Amino acid sequence: MSKFDSNYFITMKDIVREGNPILHQATHKVAVPLSSEDKETLICMRNFLKNSQDPTIAKKHKLRAGVGLSANQIGLNKRMFAAYLTDENDRKHEYMLVNPKIISHSVSMIYLPPSEGCLSVDREIQGFVPRYERIKVKGINLDGEEIMLKLSGYSSIVIQHEIDHLNGIMFYDRINKENPFKLPENSRSLY
């Protein structure tokens, strides 16, 4: 049994912060079909996101309202993440995905104003983070089935942020060093 079984309650003390090498290196692929341990960890991660978006629970346990969480953010070197969010069209997205890969993307880019943040970053960082406007992502779900997600807008931003984590990339690595508000061509604000 691992620490993060499905009854474990993840709090901010479990979240690894920037500077820890595990956040700055690519994670290892997860064996498929998933072990019950990996499945339980993913459910635990999803539960954290859900709890953190419940104002009463979040206040009691001092949780930041999270929309996505990657395994390396809880100290596990595994290529998997959970996401739990409502998009700009009020659609709900809930994913627990293993070995995700962006297989295609739009040329057009978007960014989330005023900037992104991160559960693993405890400081304000200014600047635009350019993301693909639309992505197709392949991955394996909890049942070991290969699935394909076609995402655009906010959900696309969140999933790119999480896949970046799994590749050892932080959101601020994508901010232009000379001019944090400089953007590539073909990019627009999400809002």
Residues that bind ligand UDB (CB under 6 A): 53, 64-70, 73, 112, 116-119, 157-158, 161-162, 165
Work out how close the CB of 3 gets to Zn ion at its nearest, in angstroms, rounded to a whole number.
21
The residue range among 17-25, 47-55, 98-106, 114-122 that interacts with Zn ion, by the rule CB under 5 A, is 114-122
Residue 187, classed as helix, strand or coil, is strand
CB 74 within 8 A of CB 101: no
Work out how close the CB of 139 gets to ligand UDB at its nearest, in angstroms, rounded to a whole number.
16
Tell me the catalytic residues.
Answer: 162
Q: Name the residue nearer to ligand UDB (CB basis): 1 or 123.
A: 123
Q: Name the residue nearer to Zn ion (CB basis): 72 or 99.
A: 72
HEC assignment per residue over 40-107: HHHHHHHHHHHHHCCHHHHHHHCCCCCCEEEHHHHCCCCCEEEEEEECCCCCEEEEEEEEEEEEEECC
Q: Name the residue nearer to Zn ion (CB basis): 98 or 118.
A: 118
CB 72 within 8 A of CB 166: yes
The residue range among 95-103, 110-118, 136-144, 176-184 that interacts with Zn ion, by the rule CB under 5 A, is 110-118
Site for Zn ion (CB under 5 A): which residue of 83, 109, 118, 151? 118
Which helix (H) or strand (E) segment holds residue 160: the answer is helix 154-166
Q: Name the residue nearer to ligand UDB (CB basis): 98 or 158.
A: 158
Which helix (H) or strand (E) segment holds residue 131: the answer is strand 131-132
CB 131 within 8 A of CB 156: yes
Q: Which does 109 bind (CB under 5 to 8 A by kind): ligand UDB, Zn ion, none?
A: none
Write out the residues near Zn ion by the rule CB under 5 A: 118
